[in-house]
Every structure is written in structure tokens, then in C-alpha cells.
């Protein structure tokens, strides 16, 4: 039996999947199987996959599109190996990705997962961004959990750069929360980190591709916000029986505030990719309901001002003034409408 199951979920990825598969076949570590689950693609994905003549590749096709989360969950159930990694069909690896991640596993038996640094390739803006997560080679799972959930520094950990133990994935029901469509990998990463240490490779060993057909581009800003908050609630419920954290109420508040702030700082990106005014208003309203302090941050407002039209900026200033007014805050606190 091979040592690693490489799991590739795909849907209409004819433009990218060939490079993803080839990056696996080119690995310096060769003891793997490749399981591909096609979510009922309507393009040439089938032909491209079958152009590779390698017995380690196994292709499965769904009769209907079951969604990304269910598709990955299916692959984890089909996997046979001790270690697994989900390689999104539009990403790809450098040649030593598997070798270096597995070597770290062998150095530390208590590791639950290992992920590496990488490069973000933005095809719309035609630029590359090198990511450095600045973590230790080995971090305790609980420390990683809190840091990943609440730190102001974003950790680039996506499905394609994380190798994990299959037994732990089954234990935490990885990708089994089918209500999550945007953040099931985040939920899995946080849950699995509470079952062992987290390993980290400083080398840039994978490429995360941004393009117009990314799942994140197809979901509204509002949907992504709600999905992420649902993920936070799910992992905190799981963590109550796994950690020594006492104040979960405070942890929840910090986690949701950080999540909302990340979205505010991402507004320039959404402006570049195109953003609907109505969607932005829904988004701002939801953030206010969650944590009014987020929009009171002048630095955030100043940053937004650089990228947004004056009409939207004016709305945000009105919201800020209203929230700053003590009488408004009292009404908000007690849920009064007048």
C-alpha cells in the first residue's frame, strides 16, 4: 500500500488540472496514489485526466455536482494511505513538497498535520506574492489553534499545502459539515490541530492560484462572512472538550472580531475584482451586529478610504458617527428601535 493519498477534487478545471497532476508525478517522493473525484464536469477534464498513463491515478465521477465539501469528504473516505493531502485542481506543488513534509512527520510522531509556505499566483493582477507564515518548525496544537483563530497575522494554510494523518481526519469527520461551503478546510485544520502538534516547512513548496473561477469568487461577501462565523462556532464547540481554555466566550469574541477585521482589510481586493454596493451594505450591517467596535477603528476606515468610491465612504462615515454616539450605543445595547 502506498504511503500517501493525494486527493484531487475537481469541477471544470480543464485549464489547470493537467499541471496539478503533473506536479504530483514529478515529486521526488514517489510512493503515492492519486484519487481524482470529478464533480460532474462539463468541460474536457475527463480527457485531460485520462491522457496520463499512470496506474497510480484513479478517477471517479459524480453523477451530479454534490458541492466542494461533499466531494472532498468522499475522497477522504476512499483514501487508503496513512497520510493524505487535498490538492485543489487549480493549484500545484514544487518537486520536494511530499518529501519534505513527510520527513518532518518522521522526525516527530506527535504531528497531526504539516503544511508549508507557498506562493500566491494572482492571474487577474498578474503578480506573485511570496508568503512567510513565520511559525516554528513544530508548534503545539493548542497554541496553533488559538493563534490561527485569533491572531492578526493571517496564516496561509489551504488544502493544497497541508498533509495530514488520515486516521485523524476520520476522527474529526473532516469535511463532514456539509453546511459549510466556504470554510470547511479551515474547520478541519483547526479541529485536527487539537489532536497533535502542527508541523511547518519554511520553504515555498506550493502555488496557490487566484483566478476568476475560484470558489471564493463565486460566493458573495455576505455568504463568506456567515460561513466563516458558522465555522468558528463549530470549532469552538468541538474545542470545549479538547483544550484547557477557560474563557470560551472571550475566545469567541476575539475570533469573530479578527475574522471581521480580515474582511475589512480585504475590501481593496474585492474592489479590484468588482463589488456590489448592496452587497457591501449587507456586509457592513452584519459586521455591526456582530461587533460594532470593528467599524470604529479609524485606521480601518482610513484604509478603506483609499480604495472605495466617495459614496460608499460617506456611508461608512455615517455608520461610524452613529456608532460613536453614546445614545445610539445605548439603544443598540438594549435592542431598542426608538
Among 134-143, 193-202, 224-233, 300-309, whose mean pLDDT is lowest? 300-309
pLDDT above 70 as % of the chain: 69
- The beta-strand segments (E) located in the chain are 4-10, 32-38, 57-61, 83-86, 92-93, 111-122, 127-131, 138-139, 162-165, 197-210
Q: Are residues 103 and 212 in the same domain?
A: yes
Q: Are residues 193 and 48 in the same domain?
A: yes
Q: Are residues 64 and 82 in the same domain?
A: yes
Q: How many structural domains is the chain composed of?
A: 2
Which pLDDT band, with edges at 50, 70 and 90, does 318 fall under? Answer: low
Per-residue model confidence (pLDDT) at position 246: 72
Cα 185 from Cα 125, distance rounded (Å): 25
Helix (H) or strand (E) holding 17: helix 17-25
CA distance readout (Å), 66 to 24, 35, 62, 71, 77? 25, 17, 7, 6, 15
Q: Are residues 298 and 181 in the same domain?
A: no
How many other CB atoms are there within 10 angstroms of residue 286's CB atom?
16
Which pLDDT band, with edges at 50, 70 and 90, does 103 fall under? Answer: very high
Q: Which of 176, 197, 217 finishes a domain? A: 217
Per-residue model confidence (pLDDT) at position 320: 55
Q: Which of 197, 217, 237 finishes a domain? A: 217
Among 73-87, 124-138, 323-337, whose mean pLDDT is lowest? 323-337
With a cut of 50, say whether residue 327 has pLDDT above it.
no
With a cut of 50, say whether residue 54 has pLDDT above it.
yes
Cα 192 from Cα 5, distance rounded (Å): 17
Cα 253 from Cα 190, distance rounded (Å): 17
| Residue predicted with more confidence, 259 or 276 | 259
Q: Are residues 205 and 228 in the same domain?
A: no
And the C-alpha cell for 104? 518532518
Q: Are residues 12 and 102 in the same domain?
A: yes
* DSSP state letter for 271: H
Q: Are residues 234 and 152 in the same domain?
A: no
Cα 260 from Cα 237, distance rounded (Å): 20
Average pLDDT over residues 139-145: 91
With a cut of 60, say whether residue 325 has pLDDT above it.
no
Average pLDDT over residues 57-77: 97
Per-residue model confidence (pLDDT) at position 303: 44
The contacts of residue 244 (CB under 8 Å, 6+ apart) are 142
And the C-alpha cell for 243? 483544550
Among 83-87, 126-130, 231-235, 236-240, whose mean pLDDT is lowest? 126-130
Q: Are residues 119 and 226 in the same domain?
A: no
CA distance readout (Å), 196 to 139, 191, 215, 254? 9, 10, 30, 23
Q: Are residues 126 and 160 in the same domain?
A: yes
Torsions phi, psi of 70, nearest 5? -65, -35
Q: Are residues 236 and 181 in the same domain?
A: no
pLDDT tens-digit readout, 143-196:
999 888 887 565 666 899 999 999 999 999 999 999 999 899 999 999 999 999
Residue 52's Cβ-side half-sphere holds a number of Cα atoms within 13 Å equal to: 22
Mean pLDDT of the chain: 80
CATH number for the domain that contains residue 185: 3.90.550.10
Q: Are residues 66 and 110 in the same domain?
A: yes
Among 61-65, 83-87, 256-260, 299-303, whose mean pLDDT is lowest? 299-303
Domain encompassing residue 106: 4-217
| Residue predicted with more confidence, 242 or 179 | 179
Provide the H-helix boundaries in 240-273: 248-265, 267-273
Q: Which of 217, 238, 253 finishes a domain? A: 217
Tell me the whole-structure pTM to 2 decimals: 0.79
Average pLDDT over residues 193-200: 95
pLDDT tens-digit readout, 265-296:
455 444 443 445 455 555 555 555 554 444 44
Q: Are residues 225 and 268 in the same domain?
A: yes
Amino acid at each position: 500500500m502506498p504511503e500517501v493519498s493525494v486527493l484531487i477534487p475537481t469541477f471544470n478545471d480543464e485549464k489547470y488540472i493537467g499541471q496539478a497532476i503533473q506536479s504530483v508525478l514529478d515529486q521526488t517522493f514517489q510512493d503515492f496514489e492519486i484519487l481524482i473525484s470529478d464533480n460532474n464536469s462539463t468541460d474536457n477534464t475527463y480527457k485531460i485526466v485520462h491522457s496520463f498513463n499512470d496506474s497510480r491515478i484513479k478517477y471517479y465521477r459524480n453523477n451530479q455536482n454534490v458541492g466542494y465539501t461533499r466531494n472532498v469528504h468522499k475522497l477522504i473516505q476512499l483514501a487508503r494511505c496513512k497520510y493524505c493531502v487535498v490538492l485543489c485542481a487549480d493549484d500545484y506543488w514544487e518537486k520536494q513538497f511530499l518529501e519534505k513534509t513527510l520527513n518532518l512527520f518522521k522526525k516527530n510522531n506527535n504531528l497531526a498535520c504539516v503544511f508549508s509556505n507557498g506562493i500566491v499566483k494572482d492571474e487577474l493582477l498578474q503578480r506573485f506574492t511570496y508568503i512567510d507564515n513565520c511559525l516554528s518548525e513544530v508548534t503545539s496544537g493548542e497554541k496553533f489553534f488559538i493563534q490561527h483563530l485569533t491572531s492578526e497575522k493571517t496564516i496561509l494554510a489551504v488544502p493544497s499545502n497541508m498533509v495530514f494523518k488520515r486516521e485523524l481526519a476520520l476522527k474529526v469527520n473532516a469535511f463532514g459539515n456539509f453546511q459549510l461551503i466556504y470554510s470547511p478546510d479551515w474547520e478541519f485544520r483547526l479541529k485536527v490541530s487539537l489532536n497533535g502538534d502542527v508541523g511547518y516547512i519554511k520553504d515555498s513548496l506550493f502555488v496557490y492560484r487566484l483566478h476568476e473561477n475560484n470558489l471564493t469568487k463565486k460566493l458573495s461577501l455576505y455568504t463568506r462572512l456567515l460561513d466563516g462565523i458558522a465555522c468558528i462556532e463549530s470549532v469552538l464547540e468541538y474545542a470545549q472538550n479538547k483544550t484547557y481554555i477557560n474563557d470560551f466566550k472571550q475566545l469567541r469574541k476575539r475570533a469573530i472580531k479578527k475574522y471581521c477585521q480580515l474582511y475589512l482589510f480585504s475590501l481593496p481586493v474585492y474592489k479590484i475584482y468588482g463589488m456590489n454596493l448592496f452587497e457591501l451594505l449587507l456586509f457592513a450591517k452584519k459586521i455591526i451586529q456582530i461587533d460594532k467596535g470593528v467599524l470604529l477603528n479609524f485606521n480601518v476606515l482610513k484604509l478603506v478610504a483609499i480604495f472605495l468610491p466617495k459614496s460608499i465612504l460617506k456611508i461608512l462615515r455615517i455608520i461610524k458617527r452613529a456608532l460613536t454616539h453614546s445614545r445610539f450605543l445605548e439603544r443598540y445595547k438594549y435592542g431598542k428601535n426608538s
